Amino acid sequence: METQKIQATITLTLTPEQLLMLLNAAPQNVQPTPAPMPQTTAPAPAPQQTPVPQNLGQMFPATATPMPSTQPVQQNPMPQTQPAPIAQPMPTQTAPQTYSVQELGLAARPLMETGRQQELIALLTEFGAASVAAIPEDRRADFAARLRAMGGQI
């Protein structure tokens, strides 16, 4: 009967104490072999096979509990805090909203259609204008506010 060789790579994470136990249990003639480096030009030579000690299952049983970490826990003496948000300066004066003649006319139109023409004529007279187009540009924001108070959408 022909024996087939199977090559397997196993990665173990061991504590220093576990590594010492493994090395002490290994036969004295066994030399650890480094992992082969991949080569792109020539095929890699066959790695040397290291016999596994017979008592490996006793040394590291499958139901073993994990070893506690021996690395010291680093504590941060200073708690981390979020940097304070940068205060944005409050504007001392905002530029007044400007309205076009078309915007004012569109806001006044529904009021006209609901029969409030006399109120709109009185408002125009109050602003010294015979039509929306005659309202001075610097007073259009005030006129829009009054339209809004009457129920206009602007």
Residues in the chain, total: 154
Whole-structure pTM over 0.75, yes or no?
Answer: no
> What is the residue whose two structure tokens read 């061991």?
14
- Per-residue pLDDT in tens (0 to 9) along the chain, 154 residues: 677 877 777 777 868 777 667 666 666 655 555 666 655 565 666 666 656 556 545 555 555 455 555 666 666 666 666 776 777 766 666 666 889 999 999 999 999 899 999 999 999 999 999 999 999 999 999 999 999 999 999 8
Residue type for position 128: G
* Residues 41, 38: Cα–Cα separation, whole Å: 9
Token reading at 12: 């173990």
pLDDT score for 97: 84
* Residues 136, 127: Cα–Cα separation, whole Å: 9
pLDDT score for 10: 73
Token reading at 132: 């929306």
